[in-house]
Copies of this chain bind each other. A is one copy, B any other.
Amino acid sequence: MKMRAARMYGYHEPLRLETIPVADVGPEEVRIKVGGAGMCRTDYQLIEGYFRAALPLEFPATPGHEVAGWVAGVGKNVPRSAGLVEGDQVVVSGGWGDGSCRQCHGGDEQVCAHGRWVGFGPHGGYAEYLPVHYRYLIKIPSQPGLSPDVLAPLTDAGVTPYRGIKKLVAAGAVGPGRTLAVIGAGGLGVYAVQYAKLLGAGATVVALARSDEKLAVAKTNGADHVVNTRGRSAAEVGEQLRRLTGRAELDAIIDCVGAEDSVQMGFALLATQGAFVSVGLVGNRIDIPLFPFVGREFSFFGSFWGNYNDLSEVMALAQEGRIKHTVKRVKFEDINTNIAALGQGELVGRAVIVFD
């Protein structure tokens, strides 16, 4: 059995579009026929060698870490209680730990020090089929509007802000009468605003970003207020918050950007005992004053991707029709063109590879 696959043979070069044999499926694995593979900016970075040191690859390697599709074969030791049969629509939870550490045994396999990630090695979603251990599959019964192309981006872009906002909730920082801000209204931010409304327990939701166009999407996705921060100081943004919400401060913030100044602005606006969670990674520096951090008792959390249960919850929301998607379908032969576009930030909405 053969399949199409787009594979890396080295860094800084286009993927090779090939026809190769479909991989065997181990006794506890399931063969997935890919129905949608999200194209993430991380894929561009992978190809350009950003992770070369931290995550060395053996070539050929197949990218694609946002994967949804259908079951096309079930290993003989997959337990019946997993409930997986041929034809089932599934998504892949992509962080796979080694099953030995505290993180794995607490369910947070995505931060396992010895883990593997789908699409960062031999098998990824840029191919028609791939084998996945049954543990990492979530079944999504077919329903109108929930095809693999819209599901695939939820496995990374969709789940990352979800986990972040859960940390704000767990910190006790949201609720009625409080303000929850989403910094950034791009790939992660468009989802974050939606979760902020769903999980905020009545908190007022404000989106902060530098583009009116993106803020318009945030508004459509449920933000109570939007603030364009381009060229504005924290004090000026605070004033606008006061006009909009009655208070110049924010009780909870999710930063989907991660630039040095987005972190600074967030902390400058944070209220006493407020909480801030970082999921964005545009920059690599936190540079904020210590006095208010201590004196006002701030809490600050890093949040990375999502674990299986996080993704299950996102999928439950999707099944109830509570998540809005913005997806652009990409053909196999157009993969390299779209990777270039990712590098230039030119894509509107999420590009998802489909194999028609």
Contacts and interface: CB of A to CB of B under 8 A. Distances in A.
A286 B284 contact: no
A176 interface: yes
Contact of A107 (B105, B134, B289): B105
Nearest to A134: B99
B304 A202 contact: no
Given A176-B322, A299-B299, 15 more contacts: A81-B98, A82-B100, A99-B135, A105-B107, A106-B106, A175-B316, A176-B316, A258-B294, A284-B290, A286-B286, A286-B288, A286-B290, A286-B293, A287-B287, A300-B301
A175 B286 CA distance: 29
Contacts of A313: 175-177, 202
A99 to B, nearest CB: 4
Contacts of A298: 301-302
Interface in A269-316: 272-273, 278-279, 281, 283-304, 307-309, 312-316
A201 interface: yes
- Copy number in this complex? 4
Interface residues of A, number: 68
B287 A81 contact: no
Contacts of A217: none
A273 B99 CA distance: 16
Nearest to A109: B105
A320 interface: yes
A268 interface: no
B106 A309 contact: yes
Interface of A: 27-28, 79, 81-83, 98-100, 102-103, 105-108, 111, 113-114, 134-135, 169, 175-177, 198-199, 201-202, 258, 263, 272-273, 278-279, 281, 283-304, 307-309, 312-317, 320, 322
A315 B299 CA distance: 26
Given A290-B263, A290-B283, A79 B106 contact: no
Contacts of A308: 105
A317 B202 contact: yes
A177 to B, nearest CB: 3
